């Protein structure tokens, strides 16, 4: 047996742990750039609280709050410029997956002299960037423990890619489920289905190891049970804590095991439809489970048996189908299914989509070999 396992430098988990942010950032530098979204953190008053805490500790702070839900290379470029002009020596990102993705790219690129565009098209980052702290407010993309930043080139190429660099692992992840209590139901549903997909895809991935299996299986089972509860009762800390743990452990797994066909398809479909990543993942998941079941049915079945979706004496085929049916059920009860029509990509774009799906690293990690006709088949089902 051999494997390499990488994750964030330190992981701090628990209700109320955000209070440690100022102290821990202060140990890394004296000038912090806080990366966040356009509105959420301001509405809850959290941004002011964090900045007041930084000030009280004698930290100089600059806010970069221009991160949209689907960030482009231009956004990263703006962030790098601000990090340089404000002489930031530590970057802290507080927000959803897109905020963390922009934060880690800015931190890695700012001292490198490499442009976001060159990085996007394959120029490697040569060494350590600025220290980077990730604080997720959703559960989630798992971005707080991965070296992936999903970015969009909105120019002629019109591509959405999960860029990677070993220098983009966060130095510190602070996961505080209290921050997730105020996430609205659609955000809980979309980010929750993303997290569940990631755990399931990591579990059956070609790159899975014993360590990623333990993390991914617990994450998937935990979220299968917790997600409908967190959606129905968002103010319940126990449900949010389970989702935060599931998202974290799924992220730790897929950062090493990689993903599968759901994620291979989600980016090319996302860049053409503009739909939220998690919504696309959720809607693709049942079809991909059914497609993969002939080659990894036993692992799917184990998830179904362990989370009580199928009786222990059911066959592998029956239990794997119960997992796919549960994904359908979650999409229905959280109202994702009603948006399925919006997922349709115009037929003239299908050849380009197929090409992008097949070169994706996620697709290459899918347990079942994927042909162009397989992708067309799933696109046709939408
Ligand atoms: Fe994802």
User: What sign has the CA pseudo-torsion 244, 335, 98, 60?
Assistant: negative
Task: State the average pLDDT over residues 163-191.
Answer: 96
Q: Please report the pLDDT score of residue 154 as a whole number.
A: 85
For all residues of the chain together, what is the average pLDDT?
95
Rounded to the nearest angstrom, the distance between the alpha carbon of 263 and the centre of ligand 1 is 6
Q: What is the pLDDT of residue 38?
A: 87
What is the model's pTM?
Answer: 0.94
Least confident of 149-158, 189-198, 226-235, 240-249: 149-158
Residues 325, 240: contact at Cβ < 8 Å? no
Tell me what pLDDT residue 310 has: 97
Burial label, 233 (beta-carbon count in 10 A; 0-12, 13-18, 19+): exposed
Model confidence pLDDT, tens digit, residues 227-246 = 999 999 999 999 999 999 99
What mean pLDDT is predicted for residues 188-212? 97
259 C-alpha to center of ligand 1: Å? 9
Ligand 1 geometric centre to CA of 132 (Å): 21
- Where b means 16+ CB within 10 Å and e means fewer, 68-82 reads eebbbbbbbbbbbeb
Distance 251 CA to ligand 1 centre (A): 9
Residue-wise pLDDT for 84-131, tens only, equals 999 999 999 999 999 999 999 999 999 999 999 999 999 999 999 999
CA of 254 relative to ligand 1 center, distance in Å:
10
pLDDT value at position 43? Answer: 85
Rounded distance, CA 88 to CA 75, Å?
17
Ligand 1 center to residue 54 CA distance, Å? 31
What value does the mean pLDDT take over residues 339-358? 92
Centre of ligand 1 to C-alpha 23, Å, is 31
Residue 262 CA to ligand 1 center (angstroms) comes to: 9
How far, in Å, CA of 33 to CA of 51, rounded?
11
Please, which pLDDT band fits residue 1 given cuts at 50, 70 and 90?
A: confident
- Alpha-carbon distance 300 to 254, whole Å? 16
Angle made by CA atoms 52, 56, 61, in degrees to the nearest 5 = 60
Per-residue pLDDT band at 221 (split at 50, 70, 90)? very high
What pLDDT is recorded for position 218? 98
Mean pLDDT of 214-220: 98
Distance CA 308, CA 291 (A): 22
For ligand 1, the distance from its centroid to the CA atom of residue 287, given in whole angstroms, is: 16
Sorting pLDDT into bands at 50, 70 and 90, what band is 216?
A: very high
Report the pLDDT value the prediction gives residue 44, as an integer from 0 to 100: 86
CB 136, CB 113: distance < 8 Å: no
**pLDDT exceeds cutoff 80 at 252:** yes
Ligand 1 center from residue 137 Cα (angstroms): 15
Average pLDDT over residues 16-42: 95
The percent of residues in the chain predicted with pLDDT above 90, rounded, is: 90
Q: How confident is the model at residue 51 (pLDDT cuts 50, 70, 90)?
A: very high
Which strands sit side by side in the sheet containing 31-37, from one edge to the other? 10-13, 172-175, 132-136, 90-95, 31-37, 60-67
Q: What's the pLDDT tens digit per position in 305-323?
A: 999 999 999 999 999 999 9
Is 90 exceeded by the pLDDT of residue 12? yes
Task: Give the rounded distance of the alpha carbon of 289 from its chain centre.
Answer: 19
Q: Sketch out the chain's domains with CATH numbers.
A: 10-179 (3.40.50.1970), 185-381 (1.20.1090.10)
List CB contacts of 243: < 8 A, sequence separation 6 or more. Answer: 139, 140, 177, 180, 188, 192, 195, 223, 226, 227, 230
Cα distance between residue 23 and residue 138, in whole Å: 23
pLDDT, position 202: 98
The Å distance, Cα 73 to ligand 1 centre, comes to: 19
Give the C-alpha separation, 288 to 327, whole Å: 11
- CA of 336 from ligand 1 middle (Å) equals 16
pLDDT at 40 over 90: no
**Average of per-residue pLDDT across 370-381:** 94
pLDDT at 294 over 90: yes
pLDDT for 381 equals 85
End-to-end CA distance of the chain: 40
pLDDT score recorded for residue 159:
83
| Residue carrying the six token digits 């389970």 | 242
Neighbouring residues of 133: CB distance < 8 A, sequence distance ≥ 6: 21, 24, 25, 28, 90, 91, 92, 93, 170, 171, 172, 173, 174
Residue 41 pLDDT: 85
């Amino acid at each position: 047996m051999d494997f390499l396992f990488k994750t964030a430098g330190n992981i701090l988990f628990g209700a109320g742990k955000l209070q440690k942010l100022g102290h821990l950032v202060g140990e890394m530098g004296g000038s912090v750039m806080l990366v966040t979204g356009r509105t959420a953190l301001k509405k809850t008053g959290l941004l002011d609280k964090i900045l007041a805490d930084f000030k009280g500790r004698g930290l100089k702070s600059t806010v970069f709050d221009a991160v949209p839900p689907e960030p482009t290379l231009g956004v990263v470029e703006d962030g790098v410029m601000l990090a340089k002009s404000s002489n930031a020596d530590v970057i802290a990102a507080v927000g959803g997956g897109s905020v963390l993705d922009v934060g880690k790219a800015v931190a890695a690129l700012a001292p490198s002299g490499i442009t976001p565009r060159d990085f996007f098209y394959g120029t490697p980052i040569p060494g350590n960037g600025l220290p980077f702290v990730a604080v997720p407010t959703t559960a989630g993309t798992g971005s707080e423990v991965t070296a992936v930043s999903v970015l969009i080139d909105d120019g002629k190429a019109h591509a959405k890619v999960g860029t990677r660099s070993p220098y983009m692992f966060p130095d510190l992840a602070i996961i505080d489920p209290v921050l997730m209590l105020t996430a609205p139901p659609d955000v809980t549903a979309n980010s929750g289905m993303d997290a569940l997909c990631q755990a399931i895809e990591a579990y059956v991935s070609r790159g899975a190891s014993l360590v990623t299996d333990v993390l991914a299986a617990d994450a998937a089972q935990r979220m299968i049970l917790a997600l409908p509860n967190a959606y129905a009762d968002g103010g319940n800390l126990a449900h949010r804590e389970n989702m935060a743990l599931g998202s974290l452990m799924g992220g730790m797994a897929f950062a090493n095991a990689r993903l599968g066909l759901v994620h291979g398809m989600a980016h090319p479909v996302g860049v053409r439809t503009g739909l939220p990543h998690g919504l696309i993942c959720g809607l693709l998941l049942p079809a991909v489970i059914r497609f993969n079941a002939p080659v990894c049915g036993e692992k799917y079945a184990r998830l179904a048996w362990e989370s009580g979706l199928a009786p222990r004496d059911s066959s592998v085929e029956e239990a794997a189908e119960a997992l796919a049916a549960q994904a359908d059920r979650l999409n229905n009860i959280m109202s994702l299914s009603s948006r399925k029509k919006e997922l349709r990509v115009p037929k003239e774009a299908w050849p380009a989509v197929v090409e992008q799906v097949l070169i994706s690293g996620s697709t290459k990690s899918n347990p079942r070999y994927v042909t162009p006709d397989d992708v067309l088949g799933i696109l046709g089902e939408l």
